[in-house]
Amino acid sequence: MAPEAKLSHTAAMILQAVNAGYVYGFSVMEMTGLPSGTVYPAMRRLERDELIRSQWEQQSIADAEQRPPRKYYKLTRAGKLTLEASRKRYPLLGKLIPSEEVEAL
């Protein structure tokens, strides 16, 4: 999808959350306050449009921590460009989900 493609505010929030380091579905839900029925399909659509990409965690890592492997999401180059365009459209996006918050953790 072209970088200048229009994103809804919800999609832009999810993109901002993933960019901020909330890289799996539940953490995006927690950060954005969006329900599960909204977040997961939206992330699939963002993935379909190649704005984010997903990757399953290695089984060995999950086994070592005695939990199921989880799916991580990451912004693509097109996703970063789209997010930049969306930030201009939604100036408060950065304040709602600051990137530094996760980076400081």
CB of residue 94 vs other proteins: minimum separation in angstroms?
20
Nearer to other proteins by Cβ, of 36 and 99: the residue is 36
CB of residue 62 vs other proteins: minimum separation in angstroms?
9
Nearer to other proteins by Cβ, of 45 and 77: the residue is 45
Q: Are strands 52-56 and 71-75 parallel, antiparallel or unpaired?
A: antiparallel
Contact between residue 100 and residue 94 where contact means Cβ atoms under 8 Å apart: no
User: What does the binding site for other proteins look like in residue numbers (CB under 8 A)?
Assistant: 1, 5-8, 10-11, 24-26, 29-30, 35-38, 40-42, 44-46, 49, 67-71
How many Å is the maximal CA-CA distance in the chain? 43
The region, left, alpha or beta by phi > 0 then psi within -120 to 50, assigned to residue 21 is left
Q: Per residue, what are the HEC states of 24-45?
A: CHHHHHHHHCCCHHHHHHHHHH
CB of residue 36 vs other proteins: minimum separation in angstroms?
3
CB of residue 29 vs other proteins: minimum separation in angstroms?
8
